Amino acid sequence: MAPGGFDLARGGKQRHKAQRLVRKLCPTCKEMLFPATEVECRVLGVDPAAAPIIARPVGCDDCRYTGYRGRVAVCEVLRFTPEFDDAMARGATRAQLRTLAREQGFITMAEDGIAKVLLGEINIASLVRAVDMTDRL
C-alpha cells in the first residue's frame, strides 16, 4: 500500500487504520532553541522564511543519555462513512475519495507526525525513520 494510501481491496471494513510507533523526545532534556533547517522546513511543509522552532534530543539521566524516552503512535484513520460507501459504490476515483475523506477530517500519518513534531513530542529524524516522507523532499 502506498504511504498515506487507502486499502480499498478489503470489503466490509468499517475503517482503515495505519500507525507507526515513533520514539518520543525525552521531556526532561529536549531543547527547543533552534529553528528548523531548510530541509526540515520542506519535510514539514512550511516556509523556511518562517521556520518554526523544533525540539531536538539532548540526553540526561532520565533517558540514559539517549535523548529519547518512550514511544508515541503516529497514525491515520479513515472511517468508511455512509457517504464514503456511496462514493465507492458509484465508482468514485481515488482523487474523489481522497477529497471526500479530507472533507470528513481525514489526516495522513505524515500530517499527524508533523503535528507531533511541531508540538515538540518527536523530532523529524525519528518521524522520517518511521513514516515515508520522501514525497515531500
Residue ranges that bind Zn ion, judged by CB under 5 A: 26, 28-29, 60, 62-63
In single-letter form, the type of residue at position 22 comes to V
- Identity of the residue, 2 or 33, whose beta carbon is nearer to Zn ion in the bound complex: 33
Nearer to Zn ion, 29 or 110 (CB): 29
Residue 6 makes CB contacts below 8 A (sequence gap 6+) with 16, 78, 94, 97, 98, 101
Q: Which residues pair with residue 56 across a beta bridge?
A: 31
- Nearest distance, CB of residue 23 and Zn ion, angstroms: 12
Give the residue closest to Zn ion by C-beta. 26
Phi, psi of 101 (to 5 degrees): -60, -40
How far apart are CB 61 and Zn ion at their closest, in Å?
A: 7
Is the Cβ of residue 18 or residue 26 nearer to Zn ion in the bound state? Answer: 26
C-alpha cell at 83: 457517504
Whether 131 and 113 have beta carbons less than 8 Å apart is answered as yes
Rounded to a whole number of angstroms, the minimum distance from the CB of residue 108 to Zn ion is: 30
In the complex, the smallest distance separating the C-beta of residue 4 from Zn ion, rounded to whole angstroms, is 32
In three-state secondary structure terms, 27 is coil
